[in-house]
Structure 1
């Protein structure tokens, strides 16, 4: 293989304009790549990234990236041939500190006009039962008591905004790049909610003066392990401990709400539109909901990789029928998009053997993902009097997975932050399905819907008595 390409611009010409919190694989394969492309055009060189983290493990990422001058290795897994590049959009990474003082100082710098985040779907302190920000969470409550030494990203953002206001510096835009419905609104609630605990008047000022654009992000980026490091070595980068692999496809759709300016990202394929919600719903219902649909049957059938699951006619047939009959009919129109063609693209992306994404990764954190990716489609189908058997089966498959054994009896290691709650409930649901549906933070009032209860109970009973393969076959036929 050829060696990895290097940045096509002089990195010494870059100056920072963005602080980004959360330097995981997705950010480095997505936002950082778009900026790298833009810088290569000779554009927006005053918008380089300063990296940051708020958790102790983030220090390891800082050490790894600082050890290679903040360059990231990105390997695109095109079935026609892999390619690797070193991207240089990030020029520094602030020290990770328990009080977040270095991060607050970086965000207070006048040239920083955007603070962006990828802190995962579960990192926004959302109360699962209410679907809204939870100011009583111990981490947030602690920041309310000691706002000068915050431990969360949102507490640090509040502290930096306050310092900028005191210094007469305009506020930065706060931009979530996480895969959440209405991610700008969710971030705004977290920042304002955190501020309100210590300074209600300042919380009102944030609400009136700080922009929180919504955005939709998309690119499949598997976790990094020995396979990915070996791949980097094949491109002459054996010393990179944190390479990123990703599919060729990427998409970014954002509201154009940046009072202090922004990079000219429209020149490298980013869509700026007031209709982010339409793109977002399409992606979350079809792609993320599709991931959940193929995850648990694959896990229960001892299938390791996503592309192997897609090659199984029962799983791909299950995905096709659920999407076309129970999901896509309730996805509103999207500008300049054929939704049927979009699903065909998703099917192709899931089937890419080079990505080698794992079923276990897709099964992770169902307690956070099911309410966002599956339950809304189920509610819409019920409201329309449509079919719900497939979506009910998706939920039953998740329950069966959380019982902790595959159909062959293989032990499933805990795979959810709430596994200690989910596992005993799943075992109890084998005989009493309503025990699972009683999780109001997941199902809300659906536990009282007779049609859903019946469909879920029948699906779960079939999974236990007949197994996953026979259950899928019965649904498809």
Structure 2
């Protein structure tokens, strides 16, 4: 391919004016935000918001320093370092029109496993006002049953023995704040951007529990010098394909080794309780509220739960992509029924009109065929997603002695999912840290159906609710004699 430009700062000067790249002098951007976990989602969401402030409002005081903490992050670190932190965001609309933008917002980058002390030192510098993070659900090391921080997790125990070569986010934060305290530097705001209920409260509780175990003398200072706003983040971001990379080459003659692909829709709602300065994110459409709970509950229990529902049911049928399932009426009818009959009356603080509007909007977003969001991504680590997105609704309904048919059906389908074969006779890969345990439980359920519900690390004491056990056993039997499509059709018509 002739005249192909490898994406980096120097080569962007060769791009025609107005092509992908904003007219920004990156040397003038000052770093005030450290972000832990430079995931695809961060690049499509938080960094994209910061880019808008830089471009449209000349906000140059809150550039991002990315820090990756996992061995598995080495690939993205190497690529973005090679590209001077630059990458292309590809925004895919439902109408097939794609928007392309080179993101400048990440102006520094560190890789913790390579040099943990350098990463800790950067977080300890006085210019850092906000430390944000996307470390995914399993990065919080929460006990699956109690939701409390797991002090006996192997990585936590390893951190305790080797404080200056940490493996957890809490180890890095502890040493960074200890340096700030010892040097007389104020603390900063820690802003979680993960799909965890009350994510700010959760990271605070986990972090303080870790510190109480490892550096207890630091706790009083942290109480006075940190803040943990809760936030709700929302943008569907998928895995980048080779086709996306090739299209960028063909369309703009740019070789970006890892562009990020997402939908055009985006939302970010934050509790406004920052310790010091923060960007004027309102100018970029971010909403600040006093109480995040109604917003996060609606998002977690409709969008995130909806993703898991379509992922599990669609995989059983043999679909590969979210949009395939979302455009199949049998699956959409089930999702609608789950939301209307079991979710809606548990969303305290949200009006019926807002719930129905959000539900319709979410399903339309799921139907976006241009995103090509793979069900395998949605189902990955479902053992950490189902307890967060689905089971709270089940528990609420059981407490009210209300409708649980859709919950029971879904849990039965999830059990069948661990049989590892779809209705077309094809096998699929199960990517889950608890897969061994759940596959064994699913195998036992062929003889004793309730064996799956007895996995206490997932379901706690749900197996003690006889109404759920009875409906789960019934649907498990049906799902192993009928296809998922036949089961859904009979369920929606009242014949199942």
TM over 0.5: yes
Offset of residue 213 of structure 1: 0.9
Query: Which one of 320, 323, 329 corresponds to residue 307 of structure 1?
Result: 323
Query: Which one of 68, 71, 79 corresponds to residue 56 of structure 1?
Result: 71
Query: For residues 78 and 115 of structure 2, what CA distance do their matches in structure 1 show?
Result: 19
The answer to whether structure 1 residue 296 and structure 2 residue 326 are counterparts is no
Offset of residue 203 of structure 1: 2.6
Query: Which one of 35, 46, 51 corresponds to residue 61 of structure 2?
Result: 46
Query: Which one of 193, 197, 201 corresponds to residue 213 of structure 2?
Result: 197
Residue 68 of structure 1 is matched in structure 2 by 83
Offset of residue 102 of structure 1: 1.2
Query: For residues 298 and 219 of structure 2, what CA distance do their matches in structure 1 show?
Result: 33
Q: Which secondary structure state, in structure 2, belongs to the residue aligned with residue 322 of structure 1?
A: helix
Query: For residues 237 and 57 of structure 1, what CA distance do their matches in structure 2 show?
Result: 29
Residue 93 of structure 2 is matched in structure 1 by 78
CA distance 1:336–1:239, change in 2 (3 Å): farther
Offset of residue 141 of structure 1: 1.5
Q: How does 1:433-444 map to 2 (within 5 A)?
A: 433-444=449-460
User: What's the C-alpha RMSD, in Å, of the aligned pairs?
Assistant: 1.7
Offset of residue 96 of structure 1: 3.4
Give yes or no for contact 1:143–1:194 (8 Å, CA) kept in 2: no
Q: How does 1:220-369 map to 2 (within 5 A)?
A: 220-236=236-252, 238-334=254-350, 338-369=354-385
Query: For residues 336 and 449 of structure 1, what CA distance do their matches in structure 2 show?
Result: 29
CA distance 1:4–1:286, change in 2 (3 Å): farther
Give yes or no for contact 2:232–2:270 (8 Å, CA) kept in 1: yes
Q: Which secondary structure state, in structure 1, belongs to the residue aligned with residue 358 of structure 2?
A: helix
Offset of residue 414 of structure 1: 2.3
CA distance 1:231–1:432, change in 2 (3 Å): farther
Offset of residue 258 of structure 1: 1.2
Q: Deviations over 1:72-97 (max 9, x none)?
A: 21001113311110010110102433
Give yes or no for contact 1:295–1:359 (8 Å, CA) kept in 2: yes
Residue 49 of structure 2 is matched in structure 1 by 34
The answer to whether structure 1 residue 22 and structure 2 residue 27 are counterparts is no
Number of corresponding residues: 476
Q: Which secondary structure state, in structure 1, belongs to the residue aligned with residue 90 of structure 2?
A: strand
**Farther-moved stretch of structure 1 (158-167 vs 134-143):** 134-143
Query: For residues 190 and 416 of structure 1, what CA distance do their matches in structure 2 show?
Result: 23
Residue 124 of structure 2 is matched in structure 1 by 108
Gaps of 5+ in 2: 1-15
Query: Which one of 159, 174, 196 corresponds to residue 180 of structure 1?
Result: 196
Query: For residues 49 and 225 of structure 1, what CA distance do their matches in structure 2 show?
Result: 26
Give yes or no for contact 1:99–1:150 (8 Å, CA) kept in 2: no
Residue 446 of structure 2 is matched in structure 1 by 430
Q: Deviations over 1:154-174 (max 9, x none)?
A: 101110000011111100211
Residue 469 of structure 2 is matched in structure 1 by 453
Q: Deviations over 1:70-125 (max 9, x none)?
A: 11210011133111100101101024335611110110111011111111111111
Give yes or no for contact 2:450–2:472 (8 Å, CA) kept in 1: no
Give yes or no for contact 2:70–2:112 (8 Å, CA) kept in 1: yes
Offset of residue 236 of structure 1: 2.1
Query: For residues 243 and 314 of structure 2, what CA distance do their matches in structure 1 show?
Result: 21
Q: Which secondary structure state, in structure 2, belongs to the residue aligned with residue 390 of structure 1?
A: helix
Query: For residues 149 and 15 of structure 1, what CA distance do their matches in structure 2 show?
Result: 28
Query: For residues 380 and 464 of structure 1, what CA distance do their matches in structure 2 show?
Result: 28
Give yes or no for contact 2:116–2:164 (8 Å, CA) kept in 1: no
Residue 395 of structure 1 is matched in structure 2 by 411
Q: Deviations over 1:208-238 (max 9, x none)?
A: 4311111000100011222332233243255
CA distance 1:366–1:237, change in 2 (3 Å): farther
Q: How does 1:2-17 map to 2 (within 5 A)?
A: 5-17=20-32
The answer to whether structure 1 residue 382 and structure 2 residue 389 are counterparts is no
Residue 212 of structure 1 is matched in structure 2 by 228
Give yes or no for contact 1:254–1:276 (8 Å, CA) kept in 2: yes
